[in-house]
Amino acid sequence: MKQIPNLFTLINLLFGCLAIVAVLQNGIIINVNADGTELLDIPEKIWMASLFIGIAALVDFLDGFVARLFNAGSEMGKQLDSLADVVSFGVAPGMIIYQFLRLSFAQQEGGLDVSIGWLLPAFVLPCAAAWRLARFNLDKSQTYHFKGMPVPAAGILVASLPLIYWNVNEPWVYTLLHDKWFLYGLVLLLSWLMVSSLPLMAMKFQDYSVKNNLSRYLLIAVALVAVLLLKWLAVPVIILAYVVLSLLFKNKIA
């Protein structure tokens, strides 16, 4: 029984690896119009990476639930969980950013031959994730709140980008995701949030009273409305609401 949570953690890691494979198998597509104009894009199948990261997030939630259910938490399980999270919510999302950066530069003349140096900032994300998780393992106080953004939250936000790109037919979406400066800014923002000491809520309830859980109930309400109205755009909205509500109620969650 004590190894069941660790099995879930390894499944999390497996789906993180599958997400990386899905990203790596999708290069830049070059289509040529009748007038000879080249159209550059990333394959729609990159959304499979988003799917695998989403499944990894679900399994990551379940391994903690199973550990509590069977009272099977262990120091090894904690370390294993962090190692899996680095891959699933650090490296795999970093690879998604890497591909979007390639697409951004591909829009420019000669952009397909862009120097690797312009693409390396994508991997600041997994480095920040590793730092965040190592610090979390050493800090025993983060039970009902976090110091800095949880790595899965950052990973899920990045994982939503291919789904938004292929399913939200708005010109500003393509403009943003073709903009290397937006992508660099997103990497820096998420990396800073992960390594910061900002008090952010954990979705763990000590009780179910409104007084002690108002920020959590508000977040759930925002999430439900956002999903109904915004579809895939709900993901970044929910993450933003999570950070804002955590800061507004920081005196109650820290």
pLDDT digits (tens, 9 = 90+) for 74-106: 788 889 999 999 999 999 999 999 999 999 998
Name which residue leads in pLDDT, 145 or 116.
Answer: 116
Average pLDDT taken over every residue of the chain: 89
- The helix/strand/coil state of 208 is coil
Residue-level pLDDT at 1 = 65
**Predicted local confidence at residue 72, as pLDDT:** 65
CB contact at 8 A, 157 and 82: no
Segment 61-83 shows an average pLDDT of: 80
- The pLDDT of 51-73, averaged and rounded, is 84
Task: Supply the pTM of this predicted model.
Answer: 0.92
Maximum Cα–Cα distance for the chain, whole Å?
A: 66
Alpha-carbon span 68 to 82, nearest angstrom? 17
User: Which of 11 and 142 is assigned the larger pLDDT?
Assistant: 11
18 pLDDT higher than 60: yes
DSSP type of residue 121: G
What integer pLDDT is reported at residue 167 of this predicted model? 93
Return the pLDDT at 34.
65
At 59, the amino acid letter reads: V
